[in-house]
Structure 1
Amino acid sequence: MMNIWKGILAAFMLAAVFGCGMGTSKKNGSGEVVEQLPRLCVTGTQLMNEKGDTVVLKGVSYGWHQFWPRFYNASTVAYLSEDWGAQVLRASMGIELDTAYLERPQMGIDCVQKVVDAAIENDVYVIIDWHSHGIRQEEAKDFFAKMATRYKGVPNVIYEIFNEPVDDSWEQVKTYSVEVIKTIRAIEPEAVILVGCPHWDQDIHLAADDPITGYDNIMYTVHFYANTHGQWLRDRTDYALGKGLPIFVSECAGMEASGDGAINKEEWQNWLDWMQRRSISWVAWSVSDKDETCSMLLPSASSEGNWKDKDLKEWGRMVRDELQAK
C-alpha cells in the first residue's frame, strides 16, 4: 500500500512539473545563453515552479500609468528589484480615465512594455494589469492579443485581465474573463492569468462557488486595504481556498480603501502573517507621488529610482523594509 501512495505522489509531482512546461533559456546582448526565470504554474491552490516548489512572490505595483508615466522606465525596475528586493512588479495600465488607454492606447502600451522589457532583463516577474473598473471586452481582447504575441513563451510575464470589477456581477465578469482567457490561450498556452472578482476584488466567495473551468494556470485576485478590510475578508478568502480556488493578492496596502487615512500597522501585520501561512503572493500599491497615504513616494523622488529615505513616505519605507527582510 505504501508503494501505491508513493506512486500517486510521484505522479502528482510529475504532473506539476510538466504543467509548468520545461525551463527555457535566452541570449544576452553578447549572444551568450543565460537561464530565464523558472516558469510558473498553478497546482491546486498554489503557485509553483517547474521543479514543483511552491512560489510566493512579493513586490510592488506602479500607479496608474497615465498619471505617473515618469516612473515607468528601466531604471526604476532595476532599482526596485535590486535594492528593494521586489520579486514581482505590476504595470498598471489605466483604461477609462482621461488620457488613459481608451484615449491614448499607444502611450499605455509604451509604458507597459518599458516595465515588462526591463523586468525580463532584470530577471523578475511582471504583471501586465488591465487596470479597469468596468468591462471593455473587445478592447481587452485586442490588447492582450498584442501582449501575448510579443511575450509568448517568456516565463516572467503574468496577465491580470481585470483589475477591480465594481458594478458587474460575477456572471458578467466570468463571461468576460473566459473570452479574454481564450484570446490569450490561443497565443500563449502556459502563462499564469489572474482573474478579478466583483466589488473591488472582495467578492471572492462568488467566484469560489462558480469558478471558471477548462483552463489551467488561472488564479483569482483579492485586493485589501488593511484599515478597511479585516478578518471578514480573510475569512471569505479562506472559504474560497477551502473550495480549491487559487488566490493571488495583486493589490494591497495598509491604510483605508480610499488610499488615504492612517496606516493600520496591526491589521497590516495580520494580513502579512495570514498570507505567509497560506503561501499567498502579494503586490503592494503603489509607486507614485500623489498626495495620499498609499503613494509610496514624495514629489522629490527621482523618476529613475535610487530613492533616499527623505524621498519615501512612511508607507514606502514600510513596504521597502518588508521586501528587504524576506
Structure 2
Amino acid sequence: MKFNSISSFIAAIGLLLGVQTYAANTLELHGALSVKGNQIVDASGKPTSFAGPSLFWSNTGWGADRYYNAEVVESVVKNWNATIIRAAIGADKNGGYLADPEGNFKKVTTVVDAAIAQGIYVIVDWHSHDAEKHPEAALEFFTRVATKYGDKPNVIYEIYNEPLNNTDWATQIKPYAEKLVAKIRSIDPDNLIIVGTQTWSQDVDKAAEDPIKNVSNLAYTLHFYAGTHKQDLRDKAKKALDKGIALMVTEWGTVNANGDGAVDKEETQRWLDFMREHNLSHCNWALNDKKEGASHLINGTKPDGNWTDKDFTESGLYVKNVIQNWNQAKLQ
C-alpha cells in the first residue's frame, strides 16, 4: 500500500485500528506552494490549483467589511469546499488603508488568522488601481503583513490588484513591483508573490515579454469577467504561459466587467475549462451583498455564514457549485 501524504498514512492506520480519523486540511495536503516554470506547484512538486471566493473591498464604511470575519471563512471552507480566499484590502479610496490603516489591518488579521485556522490559502490583496502613486504605503503595508505572517505558508501576497490600461508595464508597474518584491523577500524568502498586470490585470503578455527576473516564487495576475472577456483574452493568457510565466486568477466574474448583468454560463464554462487545463488557481468576485450581478449574496444577507440557497444570487449559486466541485480529489 502506498501513501501520498502523512495524513493519508495516519488515516489508514486509524481505519485499521477502528478509531476516528483526522481529516487533513488543504494546507496539510499540499504544503508550501512554489513556482516551477509556468506552474504553481505544491510541496510535492505537483501542479495544482485552488478555488474560492474573493471578498469585496474592505474599505471602512462601505459595508462589505462586515463579511471579513471568521464565521464567513469557516462557512466557505466547510460548505463550499473553498481551498483559498482573497482579502481585497482597499488601499487608496475612501475608508481604505491610507485613510484607516489600523481598521483595515484588523481585517487582514481577522481573515488571515481564520484561513490559517481552517488550513486554506489566503491572498492578501492590495486592492488599488493606482498603487504606483503611493509606493511607500504599499511598502509599509506589506512589511507589516510579511513580518507577521511570513512564516505561514498559507499566505500569498498580491501587491497590485488592477493597474489601469494607461499605466505602463515597463515604466510604472514593473518598477513599483520590483520595490515591493525586494521588500517582501527581505522578510519572507519563499511565499508566493502575485504581480498585477496592465489593463486591469489583462495584459499578461506584456509581463511575459519583460518579466521580473531573479526572484523565486513569483506569478502574475490574470483577471477576467466572462460577459466581457472572451477568446482573445484566453489567447493572450496562453501566450504568456507559453513564454514561461506562471499565472493566478485572483479575481474573475461570471458577469460583465462592470460587475453587473446576468451570468454568462457559456463563456464562464469556457474559462473554467481553460483554468482547469492550465492549473490556474482562482477567486471569484465577490463575497458580498451589493446590488449587482457579481455579488454572491442577495442584499441584506447576514454576515454569519449560516446561509441557505435563498440567500444567494444567481451568480452566487453558480459560483458556489463551481468551487464545491473544483477539487478533483476531495479531502478525506
Q: Same fold (TM over 0.5)?
A: yes
Give the CA deviation at 1:123: 0.3
The one of 70, 74, 86 equivalent to 2:70 is: 74
Deviation sequence 1:238-279 (CA, Å, 0-9, x none): 110110011111100111100001221100000001111111
CA distance in 2, matches of 1:286, 1:250: 11
Partner of 1:275: 275
TM-score (normalised: structure 2): 0.86
Partner of 2:215: 215
List 4+ stretches of structure 1 deviating above 3 A.
34-37
CA distance in 2, matches of 1:51, 1:164: 31
Are 1:307 and 2:300 an aligned pair? no
Give the CA deviation at 1:148: 0.3
Are 1:60 and 2:53 an aligned pair? yes
CA distance in 2, matches of 1:246, 1:74: 30
Give the CA deviation at 1:122: 0.4
Give the CA deviation at 1:307: 0.9
Amino acid in the other structure paired with 2:276 = Q
CA distance in 2, matches of 1:80, 1:126: 13
Deviation sequence 1:101-130 (CA, Å, 0-9, x none): 111111110111100000000000000000
Unaligned 5+ residue runs, structure 1?
1-33
Are 1:86 and 2:106 an aligned pair? no
RMSD: 1.2
The one of 125, 132, 137 equivalent to 2:121 is: 125
Indicate the percent of aligned positions where both proteins have the same amino acid.
41
The one of 149, 161, 165 equivalent to 2:163 is: 165
Amino acid in the other structure paired with 2:206 = L
Give the SS at the match of 1:232.
helix
Alignment: residue pair count? 293
CA distance in 1, matches of 2:221, 2:150: 23
Give the CA deviation at 1:299: 2.5
CA distance in 1, matches of 2:248, 2:325: 21
Partner of 1:264: 264
TM-score (normalised: structure 1): 0.88
Partner of 2:287: 287
Amino acid in the other structure paired with 2:79 = D
Unaligned 5+ residue runs, structure 2?
1-23, 327-332
Partner of 1:174: 174
Are 1:154 and 2:147 an aligned pair? no
Partner of 2:108: 112
Are 1:316 and 2:320 an aligned pair? no
The one of 141, 144, 150 equivalent to 1:143 is: 141
Are 1:49 and 2:51 an aligned pair? no
Give the CA deviation at 1:300: 3.4
Partner of 2:6: none
Amino acid in the other structure paired with 1:144 = F
CA distance in 2, matches of 1:97, 1:139: 13
Give the CA deviation at 1:201: 0.6
Deviation sequence 1:169-189 (CA, Å, 0-9, x none): 002100000000001000000
Give the SS at the match of 2:112.
helix
Partner of 2:243: 243
CA distance in 1, matches of 2:323, 2:50: 10
Partner of 1:16: none
Give the CA deviation at 1:50: 1.5
